[in-house]
Chains A and B, each alone.
Chain A
Amino acid sequence: MTSFLRSREAILAAAILALLVLISSRFPAFVEPGNLARVFTDTSPLILLALGQTVVILTRCIDLSVAANLALTGMVCAMLNAAYPGVPVAVILILALGMGAVMGMINGLMVWKLKIPPIVVTLGTMTIYRGLIFVLSGGAWVNAHEMSAAFTGFPRVDILGLPVLAWIAILVTGLFFLGIARTPLGRAFYAVGGNPHAAVYTGIDVGRTQFMAFTISGMLAGLTGYLWVARYSVAYVDIAGGFELEVVAACVIGGISIAGGAGTILGTLLGALFLGIVKNALPVVDISPFWQLAISGTAIIVAVAFNSRSGRSKGRIILKRAEGHA
């Protein structure tokens, strides 16, 4: 228990709490349950993408293509709905998951089979996926009136006081907790990032594990693509532009080590919530949204400084009598 209180998750949770107290002192309505639920719902896309990004970063990779993947999948879903309004939402969900997964697999295959550095691969696919949206749509928007009510209504369906979008984020977070703690693949993510050479000699296929991480990340980006377009009832070339950096920021603030192999799902969840609260609170307390960028940036640097401080080596135990004390 004491070790948990000293963990970075606890510190981040305390920071979020302090932030809420501070905001409520100026604007008490912000912390009312109804508003907190709204903030959570608004943060759900970030949580979904950050969870996918977490497994990618754990394996010493990075996925910069998530926002472009989201936008492309969202556009395809919206155009499908506009052309064939009768296609049920279940089919659209499967399409979104599948399309996202395929785009993730493309990233993963290039990292696995061609050994191209992940940052290069995903920088390339980010541009390609974004460009494909323009090719498909011709630069045109798909607007609310072209979408069916079922299509735009799904993420907003209310279940026990929370919209489906929030429930999906909760469900996926739960699956990640389980998957990371209780499946061989979850363990492999940490082993591959923590010591790739040892992982190879342990019989873990490093490339395949990274491929799986990209596939998961892509699948979640695709799913979020549909949810995003439906929620905002609009699809255009630039949706979620630059969102990939916010996603990486959520992971880093949550304590996922960019060097791979370290971090927790709880950390990512808290990191995303922290950014979500900052983003939603600033307009409320009448601070320019541009401050949000400065605050996010500061949070990233503080988080990384914290990481490198805790990771600093304590020196080697050389003297016999020092053994056991360290």
Chain B
Amino acid sequence: MQVSLTTPPVAHVTADAAPVLRLEGITKTFPGVKALDGVTLELYPGQVTALVGENGAGKSTIVKTLTGIYQPDGGTISLGGAPVHFATAQDATAAGITAIHQETVLFDELSVAENIFIGHAPRTRFGLIDWPKMRRDAQEILSRIDADLDPDMPLRELGIASKHLVAIARALSVDARVVIMDEPTAALSHKEIEELYELVERMRAEGRAILFISHKFDEIFRIADRYTVFRDGQHVGSGLISEVDEAELVRLMVGRSVDQIFPQRAHNIGDEVLKVVGYAHPTEFDEINFTLRRGEILGFYGLVGAGRSELMQALFGVTKPSKGAVRIDGQVRVIRSPAEAVENGIVYVPEDRGRQGAVIGLPIFQNVTLPSLAQTSRHGFLRLSEEFALAREYTERLDLRAAALDQDVGTLSGGNQQKVVIAKWLATKPKVIILDEPTKGIDIGSKAAVHGFMAELAAQGLSVIMVSSEIPEVLGMSDRVIVMREGLIAAELEGEALTPENLVRHAAGIGARP
């Protein structure tokens, strides 16, 4: 398809206009599983429709159906009133439907221009790629969205926000009528999110229909015109955002009302467990000093890229600090590897859920005992009875539902796999557990379960470090909060000082030293 840069913006359409894209009675069944059960979805030109639902409600499946990756088993898709069928992703793109994914699906080794035009690059008379035209067109589209990017720059050199811009430029290059944005702000900082909102506004003004998938209620109410709610693969409600409130959306999503959000905690904070003195890294962080006490939940707040995860990885021995010391229970310890961290009672649950996942192929009990093998073996040989006992103790504590402990962990549902991973860490009897964005991208119901669990761990005397970018979570769960900015500790907040305004102020460096 050729780029039509001269297309004039379509006039803003009123709310009662006909939908440009209409899905009706869409059903998608996987072996033994009905992922979508007769769902309806309408997208209107010049309007943003927010699609909300808990994890596993069928949001990803509908996106894949819309973009031609899945073919529905039943139901109809009509575009501009005419029924359409997308056999491949190319069909969907050709029809003017494009998706911007949470993890951008672009090519790191190709240039910005190539990424924008891949699949529909301008050709010369001889059928070869017309590089000068491609660069020119790319430059033109980028300048239209105020993106200051060099078309020849390899994509791998860009940050996530810039990659989103490239994805948006790609959407514009095919003159997409329907733009699907799948949690586009999940990994962006505050400023980047604001810029993204402006782009959404612009695309709306140009008359494009936008499907906006998000877990964040504030942004749904800020930029969406309409909402559609899915629950367990079914359509449970839709309408105008102006006619709904947060409580109603939550009620639709979970099928019950959620009033209490954060667990009440008894604050039995004991002696100092961990003391970090003068931790520094050549490029990532410097002058890190803090203490952690028994039974305490210490929040780490900051913008994305403030160096929080990097600090945690150094504490866990994944990377090495250039200087500084760690004292555990008052004694100086050197942590050079994750194995030494585990030995010293520090465990780390990383942010990337694919990474923290279970080892598929190993049975449940072997997953649980993986970091505790020294404890369950004698003379270098593993004792299976010991392993089973350890695995049983901790999986029962977490109320894991499984037929047998020697069953492959891959046969468990996601939630139960998560429990296996947590059981694994608890079985090492840690003193300090570091949770990096423990509730990122998970639904409200699961969030509450994670929060409850954290509170319970702290009550049992475990010290928790929680890295989180969600202000309500930081405020609701932490006894004390350290705010990081650009690799340094910007503030340590406690009690009265623990307010949303203070968090944002210190994280953004407003009124801070120059």
Contact = CB atoms under 8 A, between A and B. Distances in A.
Contact of B232 (A187, A199, A319): A319
Given A195-B357, A201-B338, A316 B35 contact: yes
Contacts of B370: 187, 191, 199, 202, 204
A201 B355 contact: yes
B32 A325 contact: yes
B348 A201 contact: yes
A199 B318 CA distance: 12
A325 B361 CA distance: 20
B362 A190 contact: yes
A316 B362 contact: no
Interface in B42-98: 56-58, 61
A194 interface: yes
A317 B360 CA distance: 17
A319 B377 contact: no
Interface in A186-209: 187, 190-191, 194-195, 197-205
A138 interface: no
Nearest to B354: A197
A324 B362 CA distance: 20
- How big is the A interface, by class? 20 to 34
A198 B338 contact: no
B346 to A, nearest CB: 10
A194 B56 CA distance: 25
B366 interface: yes
B381 A318 contact: no
B380 interface: yes
A309 interface: no
Interface residues of B, number: 48
Interface in B443-475: none
B56 A316 contact: yes
Given A197-B354, A197-B355, A318-B232, A204 B339 contact: yes
A205 B358 CA distance: 17
Contacts of B366: 187, 190
Given A182-B382, A202-B371, A261 B361 contact: yes
A26 interface: no
Given A198-B357, A204-B370, A315 B33 contact: yes
B327 to A, nearest CB: 21
B338 A200 contact: yes
Nearest to B37: A319
B104 interface: no
B371 A195 contact: no
25 contacts: A182-B384, A184-B373, A184-B374, A184-B382, A187-B370, A190-B359, A190-B362, A191-B362, A194-B361, A194-B362, A197-B355, A201-B338, A203-B339, A203-B340, A203-B371, A262-B361, A315-B30, A315-B33, A318-B34, A318-B57, A318-B233, A319-B33, A319-B35, A319-B232, A326-B32
Given A318-B61, A319-B232, A326-B32, 14 more contacts: A182-B384, A183-B377, A184-B380, A187-B382, A190-B362, A191-B362, A194-B362, A198-B355, A204-B339, A204-B370, A261-B360, A315-B31, A316-B56, A322-B33
Closest 7 CB pairs of A and B: A315-B30, A197-B355, A203-B339, A194-B359, A184-B373, A203-B342, A195-B359
Interface of A: 181-184, 187, 190-191, 194-195, 197-205, 261-262, 314-320, 322-323, 325-326
